[in-house]
C-alpha cells in the first residue's frame, strides 16, 4: 500500500474494555487516529455514521467486498459484517498519523500478518468471563441474546490471545491504560 506507516491493533472479546482504553489513548497521543471501520450492523446508543463506524447496508457492504475495497473483513456475530477500508488507512497515513484499530480477534491476527513489523498488536484480556458478562450487561447497549452470543464467542477469542504481540489484562482501568501506554512507547521508540 502506498505511504505505508505504523499501526496499533487492539483486539479482545466484546466487553473487555477495548473501546474505553482506545479512547483514553487517543487523548494522550496526538498523532494517533482511529481507523473507522465499515459495518453492516445498525447504529446503537449514541453512535454516529462516519464517527464510530461507516454504517452500510448488507448490499453496500457486499459491493465493497466485490470491489476489493477492504484490507480485511469478517462476519463477526452471525450476519453482521465489519471491515477495514483501504481508503481509510491511506487517508490516515497520508497525514503521517499512526492508525489505531479496534477489530475482532481474527481481524487483528490478519492485520498483523499483513503489516508485520509496522504493526503492534495488543490483546485486551478481561479479568474473567463472568466479569465480561457483567460489563456487557452494565453497558446496557445489547439485548440479552446478543450478550449471550458475545460471551459464547469469548472462549474462542481468549484461546487466540497468544498470537498477539502483547496481552494487557483490563482489571483496573488506569493500570491497563498505563501498561498499554508503556507498550506503545516501546514500539514507537523501536521504530525510529
Interface residues with ligand 5GP (CB under 6 A) are: 14, 37, 41, 72, 74, 76, 82-84, 102-104, 107
Using CB under 6 A as the binding rule, whether residue 107 contacts ligand ADP is answered as no
Interaction of residue 139 with ligand ADP, rule CB under 6 A? yes
Binding part of the chain for ligand ADP, among 15-23, 38-46, 87-95, 184-192 by CB under 6 A, reads: 15-23
Beta bridge partners of 98: 32
Choose between 24 and 91: whose C-beta lies nearer to ligand ADP. Answer: 24
Residue 5 exposure: Cα atoms within 13 Å on the Cβ side: 20
Shortest distance, position 155 Cβ to ligand 5GP, whole Å? 14
Count the Cβ atoms, other than its own, within 10 Å of residue 51.
Answer: 11
The sign of the torsion formed by the CA atoms of 183, 169, 108, 12 equals negative
In this structure, what C-alpha cell is assigned to residue 181?
Answer: 501506554
Which of ligand ADP, ligand 5GP, none does residue 76 bind (CB under 5 to 8 Å by kind)? Answer: ligand 5GP
Closer CB to ligand 5GP, 72 or 179, in the complex: 72
Where helices occur in 121-192 by DSSP H, the ranges are 129-139, 144-158, 173-190
- Cβ nearer to ligand 5GP, comparing 57 with 190: 57
Joined together, the cell numbers standing for residue 60 give 453496500
Q: What is the distance between the alpha carbons of residues 32 and 15, in angstroms, rounded to a whole number?
A: 23
Chain positions contacting ligand ADP, by CB under 6 A:
12, 14-20, 135, 138-139, 170, 172-173
Amino acid at each position: 500500500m502506498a505511504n505505508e506507516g505504523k499501526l496499533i491493533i487492539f483486539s479482545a472479546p466484546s466487553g473487555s474494555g477495548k473501546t474505553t482504553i482506545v479512547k483514553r489513548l487517543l487523548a494522550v497521543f496526538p498523532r494517533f487516529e482511529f481507523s473507522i471501520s465499515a459495518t453492516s450492523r445498525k447504529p446503537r446508543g449514541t453512535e454516529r455514521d462516519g464517527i464510530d463506524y461507516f454504517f452500510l447496508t448488507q448490499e453496500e457492504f457486499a459491493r465493497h467486498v466485490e470491489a476489493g475495497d477492504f484490507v480485511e473483513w469478517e462476519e463477526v456475530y452471525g450476519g453482521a459484517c465489519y471491515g477495514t477500508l483501504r481508503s481509510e488507512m491511506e487517508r490516515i497515513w497520508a497525514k503521517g498519523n499512526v492508525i489505531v484499530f479496534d477489530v475482532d480477534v481474527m481481524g487483528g491476527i490478519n492485520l498483523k500478518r499483513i503489516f508485520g513489523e509496522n504493526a503492534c498488536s495488543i490483546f485486551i484480556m478481561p479479568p474473567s468471563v463472568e466479569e465480561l458478562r457483567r460489563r456487557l450487561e452494565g453497558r446496557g447497549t445489547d439485548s440479552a441474546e446478543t450478550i449471550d452470543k458475545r460471551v459464547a464467542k469469548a472462549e474462542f477469542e481468549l484461546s487466540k490471545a497468544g498470537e498477539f504481540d502483547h496481552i494487557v489484562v483490563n482489571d483496573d482501568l488506569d493500570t491497563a491504560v498505563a501498561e498499554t501506554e508503556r507498550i506503545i512507547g516501546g514500539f514507537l521508540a523501536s521504530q525510529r
